[in-house]
Structures are given as structure tokens and as C-alpha cells.
């Protein structure tokens, strides 16, 4: 099995290139080709080893969910010509990520456990346990950092700092809650609970578009419906499909992305276990096993799909 750590294509008519935490993006005027690599990040740090099949899992789950929500909000996608590639509009990105939570898990729980009852300006009720449902979904935005860590921010700070105009932000909030509701319904159909997720938005030709990926294990946390109530009543950990297990493994080995900390060794067994979890989520969400591919033709296949789509 081969993993895609990076791509270094040079295309005719290419006007720019950007390498993000997990994606390589090629620009062609007002369009772009986004390649989902197999890189993996946690705590805003790219981990040293790539995860086989992760990129195509993310790209195909995102494509499914973007198609399933395009009646709610226009999205950036023009075509998905390859399991690892999406072609779409280049948008002017809003500098905030719209994080929405239906349950007290992950970062929200770690904040709550410290005794804090306000998260991004949102009041949290007393008496909750880890992984309890919240009274209603809440939006807890973060800044979208070009380098370093994203930071929690409140609605009031976003407007006060002029990061997003109030009219636009109201639309982002409306879109976010509608998308989370649809995502919750889609997850339930597959025996999953959508715990929390994030959405990113941009503008193209005056229209606000949903951009990037949605409802993937990189941007979302899922619990299994079966056994959730029983585990919660017993105070047992929830069975989940997300990157949280990667974060927990890093935390247990002394890494949270802080200065001076070293990423623990990623053994072949760890890499394989992460790859297996991504494929498990793909099958759970789509009802189909991930199709086998010819790994030795990966890069040629991706390059050809972009050339044929852009020209």
C-alpha cells in the first residue's frame, strides 16, 4: 500500500499552488483542483507519516455529503473526477471556521472539565457529563489561522473585530445549523450520531459558498448509535469514529502540539490501525467497502484526472 505524502505537479495554465495540512491545491484562474493527500494532522501539526487510503476516503465522503446538502447551501464543487480530486470554484474564504456541537465532547469537554462554563461566548449548563447531549446544537467558532493554532472566538468578537460583516455572519450561522441538522439525519440513517463538526465558507461572484470538505472524520466526530445510551448510563467511553482516537493516542504519549513536545513514533501498526478506522467509517457511512486500487498508478491517475478536467 502506498500513501500520498505530497504532490508536485506542474500543469499548463496553472496560476498558483497551495499546500495545506492535508490537501494540495492547484489554482487555474477562478477554478481550483484540490488533491486530498494521505497526510494527517492533529493539534494543528502535520504528523510525520501519511495514512494509506485516508485521502480518497475523505474526498469521497465529502463528495457524498456536499451533494446531499447542495439544496441547503450552494457549494464550491464543479466535479469529482477522481477518488482523490475535487474540482471547484476558487472562493474568497471567510477567516473563521464554524464549529457546531450537539454533544459535550472533545475540546468542549476538556474546557468544561476545567470548570469553565462559557465556550466561545456560549453558556453551558451545569451538571453535564462527558459525551452528554447538549440542550440544543451550539456554534463555537474558531479563527482560521494561516500558521499555528486556530483559536476559539465568540460571535461578538468576530463582529467587533470586523472579521465578518454582521449580515454575512447571520447567514453563516443559518447555513451552519441547517447543515448540522441534515448531517445529523444522514448519520442516523447509517447508525451514527454526528457529535460535532466544522464548516468553512467563502464567497465567489458575490455568492456565499460552502467550501472545503464536510462531515468527514477529519472535520467531524461520530458516535455509534447502538449502545450509546447504555455506555453513557455506565459512564463508559463512547465508541466513536473520528480523529479523536489519534488525539488521545498523542496525548497519552505526551504530545498536544505544544512547544518542545515531540510527536511519538508512528509505528507500522499505528499507521495501519488509523487507516483501518478511516476505511471503517467509509463503509459505515456509504454502506459499501472501499474499492481496491492499483497503488503503483496513484500519481499518474491523479495527474491525468486534473488535466482532463481543467482543459
Write the burial class of residue 194 (CB in 10 Å: 0-12 exposed, 13-18 middle, 19+ buried).
buried
Q: Could you list the pLDDT tens digit for every one of the 311 residues in the chain?
A: 689 999 999 999 999 999 988 999 999 999 999 999 999 998 889 999 999 999 999 999 999 999 999 999 999 999 999 999 999 999 999 999 999 999 999 999 999 999 999 999 999 999 999 999 999 999 999 998 665 567 999 999 999 999 999 999 999 999 999 999 999 999 999 999 999 999 999 999 999 999 999 998 888 999 999 999 999 999 999 988 777 778 889 999 999 989 899 999 999 999 999 899 888 888 888 888 998 887 788 899 999 999 999 87
CA distances (Å), 34 to each of 18, 31, 73, in order? 9, 10, 20
Cell of 122: 456560549
Q: Does domain 93-245 have CATH number 3.30.470.20?
A: yes
What was the pLDDT predicted at 48?
94
What was the pLDDT predicted at 147?
57
Can you give the chain as a three-state secondary structure string? Answer: CCCCCCCCCCCCCCCEEEECCCEEEEEECCEEEEEECCCCEECCEECCCCCCCHHHHHHHHHHHHHHHHCCCCCECEEEEEECCEEEEECCEECCEEEEEEEECCHHHHHHHHCCCCEECCEECCCCCCCCCEEEEEEECCEECCCCCCCCECCHHHHHHCCCCCHHHHHHHHHHHHHHHHHHHHHHHHCCEEEEEEEEEEEEECCEEEEECCCCCCCCEEEEECCCHHHHHHHCCCCCEECCHHHHHHHHHCCCCCCCCCCCCCCCHHHHHHHHHHHHHHHHHHHCCCCCCCCHHHHHHHHHHHHHHHHC
Give the whole-angstrom CA distance, residue 242 versus residue 244: 5
Amino acid at each position: 500500500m502506498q500513501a500520498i505524502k505530497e504532490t508536485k505537479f506542474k500543469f499548463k495554465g496553472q496560476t498558483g499552488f497551495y499546500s495545506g495540512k492535508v490537501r494540495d491545491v492547484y489554482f487555474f484562474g477562478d477554478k481550483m483542483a484540490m488533491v486530498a493527500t494521505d497526510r494527517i494532522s492533529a493539534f494543528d501539526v502535520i504528523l510525520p507519516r501519511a495514512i494509506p487510503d485516508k485521502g480518497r476516503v475523505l474526498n469521497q465522503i465529502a463528495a457524498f455529503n456536499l451533494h446531499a446538502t447542495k439544496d441547503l447551501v450552494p457549494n464550491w464543487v464543479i466535479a469529482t473526477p477522481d477518488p482523490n480530486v475535487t474540482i471547484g470554484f476558487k472562493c474568497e474564504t471567510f477567516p473563521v471556521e464554524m464549529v457546531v456541537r450537539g454533544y459535550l465532547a472533545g475540546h468542549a469537554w476538556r474546557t468544561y472539565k476545567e470548570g469553565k462554563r462559557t465556550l466561545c461566548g456560549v453558556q453551558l449548563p451545569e451538571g453535564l457529563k462527558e459525551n452528554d447531549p447538549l440542550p440544543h446544537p451550539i456554534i463555537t467558532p474558531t479563527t482560521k489561522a494561516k500558521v499555528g493554532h486556530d483559536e476559539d472566538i465568540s460571535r461578538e468578537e468576530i463582529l467587533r473585530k470586523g472579521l465578518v460583516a454582521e449580515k454575512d455572519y447571520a447567514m453563516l450561522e443559518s447555513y451552519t445549523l441547517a447543515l448540522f441538522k441534515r448531517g445529523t439525519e444522514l448519520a442516523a440513517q447509517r447508525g451514527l450520531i454526528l457529535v460535532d463538526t466544522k464548516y468553512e465558507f467563502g464567497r465567489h461572484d458575490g455568492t456565499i459558498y460552502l467550501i472545503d470538505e464536510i462531515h468527514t472524520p477529519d472535520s467531524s466526530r461520530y458516535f455509534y448509535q447502538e449502545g450509546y445510551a447504555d455506555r453513557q448510563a455506565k459512564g463508559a467511553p463512547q465508541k466513536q469514529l473520528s480523529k479523536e482516537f489519534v488525539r488521545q493516542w498523542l496525548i497519552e504519549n505526551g504530545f498536544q502540539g505544544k512547544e518542545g513536545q515531540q510527536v511519538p513514533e508512528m509505528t507500522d501498526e499505528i499507521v495501519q490501525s488509523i487507516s483501518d478506522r478511516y476505511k471503517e467509517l467509509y463503509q459505515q457511512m456509504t454502506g459499501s467497502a472501499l474499492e481496491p486500487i492499483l497503488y503503483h498508478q496513484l500519481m499518474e491517475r491523479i495527474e491525468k484526472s486534473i488535466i482532463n478536467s481543467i482543459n
